[in-house]
A and B are shown apart, each in its own frame.
Chain A
Amino acid sequence: MTELRVSYTLDSTLETVDNAEQTASRIATETGFDEDEVMQISMAVREAAVNAVLHGNAYDPDKKVKLDFERTSQDLVITIRDQGKGLDMDKIPDPLAPENLLKTSGRGIFLIRSFMDEVQIHPSMTGTEIKLVKHVHGTSGDVKEASQ
């Protein structure tokens, strides 16, 4: 599998959300992930892009979303950055708590964490960066064996 590094700078629009999802789906497919994994990766990217466009940049036409894909022999790493005020992690409720089950929003980060192997969220005053990692087949098992 060839290594890959590609970067996109996108407007804060709903079209960006769709583009991010489609690009993630294409790259995940090319990487060799199966259908379910491709859906998980593309949905995680979609949810991160929604957060960047809506909650981060708030559709501001002067603010951009940066989307990076990096594929190595071990991982597919996707980084999404916005130029908003920075996600307040303390304000993200647990969507599985009984009192939150019937809320109409607040499931995006939960789905991202459910679908990816590693998720790092770095909010700052100049925006939020979220890094999503999916291990390429076999590497997660190799890591477990090596650590035993």
Chain B
Amino acid sequence: MTMKTSTRQVDGVAIVDCSGRITLGEGSVILRDAVRELLSKGQKKILLNLGEVTYIDSSGIGELVSAFTTVRNQGGELKLLNLTKKVHDLLQITKLYTVFDVRDDEAGAVKAFS
């Protein structure tokens, strides 16, 4: 399944709903482009909803890290929402679970942005 993203705005936070596979190649590029486009518009509060992400490889993990650091370096915040078990487990074993701000409640996640 190809990676797809759609973005909506809730209380000043850009929520990027991601679905499909974040893998080397197209999937990673689509995520990268979505985050860059938001930053280029001055949108620095970004919530990645990964609830429909079915698969992620090491390149996809790298892309999440890249998105996180890129947003942070521009003075913004990036949080993750609705991890599937697969993605949750991958972030656990790579010790990234505590690096990201991971949320499972959209309203709470939106409120958590400073």
Q: Which residues of A contact B (CB under 8 A)?
A: 14, 17, 39, 43, 46-47, 50, 54, 95-96, 101-105, 107-108, 110-111, 114
Contacts and interface: CB of A to CB of B under 8 A. Distances in A.
B94 interface: yes
Contacts, number: 44
Contact of A50 (B59, B63, B69, B86): B59
Interface string B19-35: 00001110000000000
A102 B59 contact: no
Contact of B94 (A39, A43, A46, A96): A96
A39 B62 CA distance: 19
Classify the interface of chain A: helix, strand, loop or mixed.
helix
A58 to B, nearest CB: 14
B57 A50 contact: yes
A46 to B, nearest CB: 6
Contact of B24 (A39, A50, A110, A114): A50
Contacts of A96: 94-95
Q: 4 nearest interchain CB pairs? A: A104-B62, A107-B58, A104-B66, A108-B58
B56 to A, nearest CB: 9
A9 B86 CA distance: 30
B10 interface: no
Interface in B34-90: 57-59, 61-63, 65-66, 68-69, 86, 90
A46 B57 contact: yes
A102 B94 contact: no
A54 B65 CA distance: 20
Given A14-B25, A102-B69, A105-B58, 15 more contacts: A14-B24, A46-B57, A50-B24, A54-B24, A96-B94, A101-B99, A102-B65, A103-B65, A104-B62, A104-B63, A107-B58, A107-B61, A110-B94, A111-B93, A111-B94
Contacts of A17: 24
A135 to B, nearest CB: 19
24 contacts: A14-B24, A14-B25, A17-B24, A39-B86, A46-B23, A47-B57, A50-B24, A50-B57, A50-B58, A50-B59, A54-B24, A96-B94, A96-B95, A101-B95, A101-B96, A103-B62, A104-B65, A104-B66, A105-B62, A107-B58, A107-B62, A111-B93, A111-B94, A114-B93
